[in-house]
């Protein structure tokens, strides 16, 4: 049985369909059959609130095979039929970036909560239309940006209090893609094409960018210096964030490799951690000392569990303040990536 709740905390009247409050248990489907969907499904098994009950793929063989792999009975090859199902409450979407908007709105219009893998959309025009559709249908729309839900974020915030006035920051997410080999062989993998809204910034750079905004707020200015491929996307690039008292540097790449150790430099010490997507081994190195002071850390092998738990909590408790914060973060990240892309002539298929 669903309960109809009315809230007006976002400035527009919204109605949220949930099951019994305090015991939210939603059936969710998945769109996409890649490794990221596998990881989300596995994480959902450790998170109360969501039960995987359906899958979608364009071909029957792939849909059936993915359903059997995850021991799910329902599979669909028609997206609208899946969205209209009375047996689904929510959906996780991990289709190619350029298809996110169409897929998301299809489910929102059928009053299904949507969790969409980052980058949520190609541009702000899509973002605004989709969130309006969510408000009109009275359902939630979340961007699956896993790092901002990790308990390690709290450790980083605590570490910042120990290193004094912040003067600089470097956050790399440099990870060689096996699909780049295919690109070099003349193929056109989705992530290396403008048609499917690909590139290093929107695929990897959004992790450190989201983290920077969570820690320091939206920067006053942002500039991007990409290494553009013949396909028109950025294979790698340097994103410079200007704050009142310091400049932050984000490195992102799908055509080179790095250890991805992140550093935030203060006048009394340096906050160090591994990988902007995981934030593992957070520690402080005090100036004048080589000793590392380890901070509290969670090393869960699949930190998607935290975003799933938070989404379930927000829906169950109707926490509109938390929802509004996540919505604003999603907007701020997309506003920056769209701005710097346009400044560098990186135009996606839907924008040409």
* Domain annotation covers residue 229: yes
| pLDDT tens, position by position, 76-111 | 999 999 999 999 999 999 999 999 999 999 999 999
* Domain annotation covers residue 66: yes
* Domain annotation covers residue 334: no
For 120-182, strand residue ranges (E) read: 141-144, 166-174
Whether 136 and 48 map to the same domain: the answer is yes
Whether 156 and 292 map to the same domain: the answer is yes
Q: What is the mean pLDDT of residues 17-40?
A: 79
**Helices and strands in the chain, H and E counts:** 11, 16
* Domain annotation covers residue 20: no
Whether 92 and 173 map to the same domain: the answer is no
Q: Which residues form the domain of 36?
A: 26-144
Whether 171 and 294 map to the same domain: the answer is yes
Average pLDDT, the chain: 93
CATH number, domain containing residue 253: 3.30.360.10
Whether 86 and 197 map to the same domain: the answer is no
Q: Place 24 in a pLDDT band, splitting at 50, 70 and 90.
A: low
d(Cα 126, Cα 141) in Å, to the nearest integer? 13
Q: What is the mean pLDDT of residues 279-297?
A: 93
- Is the pLDDT at 23 greater than 90? The verdict is no
Total number of domains in the chain: 2
d(Cα 160, Cα 244) in Å, to the nearest integer? 17
| pLDDT tens, position by position, 43-53 | 999 988 889 99
**pLDDT recorded at residue 315:** 94
**pLDDT recorded at residue 47:** 85
| 89-to-117, 154, 217, 244, 312 alpha-carbon distances in Å | 17, 31, 33, 44, 12
Whether 280 and 175 map to the same domain: the answer is yes
Q: Place 6 in a pLDDT band, splitting at 50, 70 and 90.
A: very low
Q: Which of 129, 144, 159 is at the close of a domain?
A: 144
């Amino acid at each position: 049985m669903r309960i109809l709740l009315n809230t007006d905390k976002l400035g527009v009247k919204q109605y949220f369909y949930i099951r019994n409050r305090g015991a939210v248990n939603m059936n969710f489907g998945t769109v996409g059959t890649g490794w990221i969907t596998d990881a989300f499904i596995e994480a959902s098994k450790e998170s109360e609130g969501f039960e995987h009950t359906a899958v979608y793929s364009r071909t029957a063989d792939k849909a059936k095979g993915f359903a059997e792999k995850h021991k799910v009975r329902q599979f669909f090859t028609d997206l609208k039929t899946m969205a209209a199902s009375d047996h689904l409450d929510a959906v996780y979407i991990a289709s190619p970036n350029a298809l996110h908007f169409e897929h998301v709105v299809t489910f929102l219009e059928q009053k299904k909560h949507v969790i969409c893998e980052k980058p949520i959309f190609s541009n702000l025009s899509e973002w605004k239309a989709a969130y309006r559709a969510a408000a009109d249908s009275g359902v939630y729309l979340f961007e699956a940006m896993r790092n901002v839900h990790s308990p390690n974020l709290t450790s980083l915030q605590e570490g910042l209090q120990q290193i004094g006035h912040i003067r600089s920051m470097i956050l790399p997410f440099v990870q060689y893609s096996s699909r780049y080999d295919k690109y070099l062989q003349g193929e056109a993998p989705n992530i290396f094409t403008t048609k499917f809204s690909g590139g290093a910034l929107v695929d990897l750079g959004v992790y450190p960018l989201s983290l920077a905004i969570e820690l320091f707020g939206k920067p006053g200015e942002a500039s991007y210096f990409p290494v553009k491929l013949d396909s028109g996307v950025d294979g790698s690039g340097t994103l410079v964030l200007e704050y009142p008292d310091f400049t932050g540097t984000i490195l992102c790449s799908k055509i080179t490799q790095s250890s991805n150790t992140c550093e935030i430099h203060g006048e009394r010490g340096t906050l160090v951690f591994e990988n902007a997507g995981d934030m593992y081994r957070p520690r402080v190195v005090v100036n004048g000392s080589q000793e590392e002071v380890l901070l509290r850390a969670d090393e869960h092998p699949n930190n998607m569990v935290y975003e799933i738990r938070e989404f379930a909590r927000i829906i169950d408790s109707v926490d509109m303040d938390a929802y509004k914060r996540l919505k604003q973060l999603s907007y701020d990240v997309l506003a920056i990536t769209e701005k710097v892309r346009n400044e560098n002539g990186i135009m996606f298929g839907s924008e040409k």
